[in-house]
Amino acid sequence: MKTQDTVEEITRETEEETGNDLLRPLIESSPAKAPKFEPIADPTGIIIGKLIGMANEGCTPLVCYSGQPGTAALQARATVDLHGAHIGRQVVLMFEAKDLAKPIIMGVLQEDKGSALEQRPGQVEVDVDGERLIVTAKEQLVLRCGKASITLTKAGKVLIKGSYLSSHSSGVNRIRGGTVHVN
């Protein structure tokens, strides 16, 4: 029996010297029991965050990111035009003067599902030569300000709408058409 006790003592001493006893709880622990590692945000690099809302009537974006100071959303500034459709999307963040409390949104990451070419918004062509400005659209062109609008359609219609319409001319003010209706 003494020999068996001596062998166990030597084995125990050997394990203590190699550190196996110290590492065993970490090696054998399940992932559920392992402490959650929260990476520390690096203000000198690019961080991926999430746009969670817009404050001040849609003027100030609110973001969250892993390792941010505090738990509340942070107000951010943006170099890109943000819309309500971007809420919930991942954004690329950098920081003003390396201050983790002052995020700047550099862009919105594209989703895995791309939009088909047919679903893309219509293109508007603008031609400026210094003397005139030509804006061309395929179906309809609308200029709008408050309750007033001017609409040009592909069919050749010009629709002018407003709560007050005034026409002044220093020369002849002509109204011509196939039929002219007043009132």
pLDDT given at position 25: 52
Residue (of 55, 57, 85, 86) closest to 72 by Cα position: 55
What number of other Cβ atoms are within 10 A of residue 103's Cβ? 27
Mean pLDDT over the full length of the chain: 77
Of 164 and 70, the structure prediction assigns the larger pLDDT to 164
CA distance 182 to 56: 46
Q: Provide the pLDDT confidence category of residue 37 given band limits of 50, 70 and 90.
A: very low
Tens of pLDDT, residue by residue over 73-125, are 899 999 999 988 888 899 999 998 888 889 999 999 987 765 555 555 556 66
Alpha helices for the chain (secondary structure H): 2-18, 20-28
Q: Which residues pair with 175 in a beta bridge?
A: none
pLDDT at 50 over 50: yes
b/e per residue 40-77 (b: at least 16 CB within 10 A)? ebebeeebebbbeebeeeeeebbbebeebeeeebbebe
Residues 24, 44: Cα–Cα separation, whole Å: 37
The pLDDT value given to residue 111: 76
Residues 6+ apart with CB under 8 A from 66: 38, 39, 41, 47, 49
- From 2.40.50, 2.60.120, 2.40.30, 2.60.40, which CATH number describes the 47-108 domain? 2.40.50
pLDDT at residue 47 is higher than 70: yes
Domain extents in the chain = 1-29, 47-108, 124-161
* Model confidence pLDDT, tens digit, residues 113-128: 655 555 555 566 677 7
The pLDDT value given to residue 73: 86
Q: Each residue of 143-163: pLDDT tens digit?
A: 999 999 999 999 999 999 999
pLDDT at 72: 82
Residue 136: the pLDDT is: 83
pLDDT at 155: 93
Written as six digits, the tokens of 162 are 């407003």
At 35, the pLDDT band (50, 70, 90 cuts) reads very low
- The torsion angle over the Cα atoms of residues 70, 72, 74 and 80, rounded to 10 degrees, is 130
Query: What's the average model confidence in pLDDT over 50-61?
Result: 86
Q: How confident is the model at residue 57 (pLDDT cuts 50, 70, 90)?
A: confident
Q: Is the pTM of this model over 0.85?
A: no
